Amino acid sequence: MIEIFGIPVAVLGGQILLGLINGSFYALLSLGLAIIFGMLNVINFAHGAFYMLGGFATWILFTYFGIGYWPGLLFAPFVAGSIGALMERLLLRRLYNVDHLYSLLFTFGAALALEGLFRHHFGSAGKPYPLPGELSGGYNLGFMFLPLYRAWVIIIALLVCFGTWFAIERTRLGAYLRAATENPSLVQAFGINVPLLLTLTYAFCVGLAGFTGALAAPIYQVSPGMGANLIIIVFAVVVIGGMGSILGTILTGLSLGVIEALTKVFFPTASAITVFIIMILVLMLRPTGLFGRER
């Protein structure tokens, strides 16, 4: 068996694969967080809760209605996005004129409430979600075994990430978004319904989180707490990447997932805090983040 640095290649390969999966989740989630922060100036603490909502939406769809993975993949972001749109339109919007502290506290309360509600109703234990038939099994690559589902997750996550990047950087709608981030009142004075744009942006970003939750369900199971600790790592990812560029955020998320996974192989005890240590280093050397811009 081939070994690299004393680790069998199969193990290394498997870990890197897991790292890419975690990394793509980090990328998807930090993308939504960064866009919400850029456009609405809100730290969306509830992002983890929407991730959890997406996972539960797809699990409920399967467990109570017998509807499988593929519709679930569309249903989850729809549920998350709709609830997000309602929350933004009715409640969060009223906090844009006050100190940004309050919108953070509001979303924090929302996260607590959603998590608590689901925990009370469904219990804390993780609920398994079956792999869709078409994506079970895998390929033997010779040096390691590649599960099909894991490959799928990485590919679709990357597609969605780059699709989002394209939409923002290369389309008319994206231009509206970028302009509204800089000067919302002027954009509105041009005839663009900016409040509606903000609602749709928030809905899209939390919809992304819900989509990620649906992707994660077969791998990580579905539990009320699934978003909670994850979201704080994603915060650290956003701080490391800075919020200056979409591509930068995506790249940072992916890399950190891989680095974290590799650390688990070589320094297992430190793996949980890898991202935080990197964050400390980045803060000392580049306070605005790797790809950040002075706001």
Q: How far is CA 278 from CA 111, 120, 222, 223, 285, in A?
A: 26, 36, 29, 28, 11
Comparing CB distances to another protein, the nearer of 72 and 244 is 244
Give the whole-angstrom CA distance, residue 39 versus residue 34.
Answer: 9
Contact between 116 and another protein per CB under 8 A: yes
Shortest spacing between CB 234 and another protein, in angstroms: 10
Contact between 291 and another protein per CB under 8 A: no
Q: How far is CA 88 from CA 95, 190, 202, 209, in A?
A: 10, 23, 7, 15
Contact between 125 and another protein per CB under 8 A: no
Bridge partner residues of 25 (DSSP): none
Please tell me whether residue 227 adopts helix, strand or coil conformation: coil
Q: How far is CA 214 from the centre of its chain?
A: 11
Query: Are the C-beta atoms of residues 243 and 250 closer than 8 Å to each other?
Result: no
Composition of the chain by helix, strand, coil, percent to 5: 75, 5, 20
Contact between 209 and another protein per CB under 8 A: no
> What residues numbered 225-284 form the site for another protein, per CB under 8 A?
228-229, 232-233, 235-236, 238-239, 269, 272-273, 276-277, 279-280, 283-284
Among 115, 202, 254, 291, binds another protein (CB under 8 A): 115
> What residues numbered 140-199 form the site for another protein, per CB under 8 A?
172, 175-176, 178-179, 181-183, 185-195
Binding site for another protein (CB under 8 A): 37, 41, 43, 91, 94-95, 98, 100-102, 104-106, 108-117, 119-120, 172, 175-176, 178-179, 181-183, 185-195, 228-229, 232-233, 235-236, 238-239, 269, 272-273, 276-277, 279-280, 283-284, 287
